């Protein structure tokens, strides 16, 4: 058997990071789904452009969240299992399946759950930018942690070992893409909020008449 190397502190660090990201990704997807549903009701040029962007971003963040978290969770569970074996403790396998992660961050599931209410629009628009900042920060931390995992960890699997470093490049690249999208969404957030509020006011006005 080849070498196994990892940091015993990794499970603790990764566990809290996974929980944090799960929560923030869910909030982000929920808000994006909400905006998409709102934008579905609007037909102005700006709204259509924003809606197209939102659909693409939703798809990307749905895949990104399930895949990054599944990866982190499998590594965490493996490290836990080896650490438990080494310390003669009883290992508990808490591995969440790939299918389960996909369902947790499925756009369809969010779309089914979203409920459009006037209060929700106000709440979601107020919190959206905060969520974007939080996800951006967590992704930076997550990236640092993954770098640590990849550089300081050795697995005795030839085929995994062979793709380990290219995986690092790809993960870095995907996280950068996510950050660019967040930056872009942040820039459009004002536009989005203005557009949604404008049309919402318009609709309220029409209803009063």
Contact residues: another protein, CB under 8 A = 1-9, 60, 63-64, 67-68, 70-71, 74-75, 77-78, 81-83, 85-88, 91, 93, 95, 97-100, 102-103, 106, 108-109, 152, 154-157, 159-160, 163-164, 167, 170-171, 173-174, 177
Q: How far is the CB of 115 from another protein (least distance, A)?
A: 20
The helix/strand/coil state of 154 is: strand
| Cβ 199 to another protein shortest distance, Å | 31
The set of long-range contacts for 181-188, using a CB threshold of 8 Å and a minimum separation of 24, is 181/57, 181/60, 181/61, 182/132, 182/135, 182/136, 182/139, 183/136, 184/53, 185/53, 185/57, 185/132, 186/129, 186/132, 186/133, 188/50, 188/53
Instruction: Report d(CA 19, CA 160) in Å as an integer.
Output: 25
Please say which residue, 87 or 144, places its beta carbon nearer to another protein.
Answer: 87
Q: How far is the CB of 138 from another protein (least distance, A)?
A: 18
Taking the complex as a whole, the smallest distance from the CB of residue 208 to another protein amounts, in Å, to: 41
> Which one, 93 or 206, has the nearer CB to another protein?
93
Taking the least distance from each CB to another protein, the nearer of 6 and 129 is 6
What gap in Å lies between CA 178 and CA 187, rounded to an integer? Answer: 14
Q: Which of 189, 179, 184 is nearest to 142 (CA)?
A: 179
In terms of CB distance, is 37 or 167 closer to another protein? Answer: 167
Min CB(26)–another protein separation in Å: 16
105 or 128, CB closer to another protein?
105
What is the closest distance, in whole angstroms, from the C-beta atom of residue 137 to another protein in the complex?
21
66 — phi, psi (to 5°)? Answer: -65, -40
At how many degrees (to 10) do helices 10-40 and 118-152 cross? 150
Nearer to another protein, 95 or 189 (CB): 95
């Amino acid at each position: 058997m080849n070498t196994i190397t990892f940091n015993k502190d990794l499970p603790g660090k990764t566990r809290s990071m996974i929980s944090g990201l799960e929560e923030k990704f869910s909030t982000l997807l929920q808000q994006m789904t909400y905006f998409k549903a709102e934008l579905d009701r609007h037909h102005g040029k700006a709204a259509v452009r924003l809606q197209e962007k939102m659909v693409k971003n939703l798809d990307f963040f749905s895949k990104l969240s399930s895949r990054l978290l599944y990866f982190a969770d499998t590594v965490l569970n493996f490290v836990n299992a080896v650490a438990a074996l080494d310390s003669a403790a009883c290992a508990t396998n808490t591995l969440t399946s790939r299918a389960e992660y996909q369902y947790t961050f499925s756009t369809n599931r969010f779309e089914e759950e979203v409920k459009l209410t006037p209060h929700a629009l106000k709440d979601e628009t107020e919190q959206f930018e905060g969520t974007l900042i939080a996800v951006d920060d967590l992704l930076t931390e997550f990236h640092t942690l993954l770098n640590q995992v990849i550089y300081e960890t050795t697995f005795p699997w030839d085929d995994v070992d062979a793709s380990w470093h290219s995986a690092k490049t790809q993960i870095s690249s995907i996280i950068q893409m996510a950050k660019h999208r967040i930056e872009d969404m942040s820039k459009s957030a004002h536009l989005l909020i203005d557009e949604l509020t404008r049309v919402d006011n318009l609709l309220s006005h029409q209803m009063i008449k």
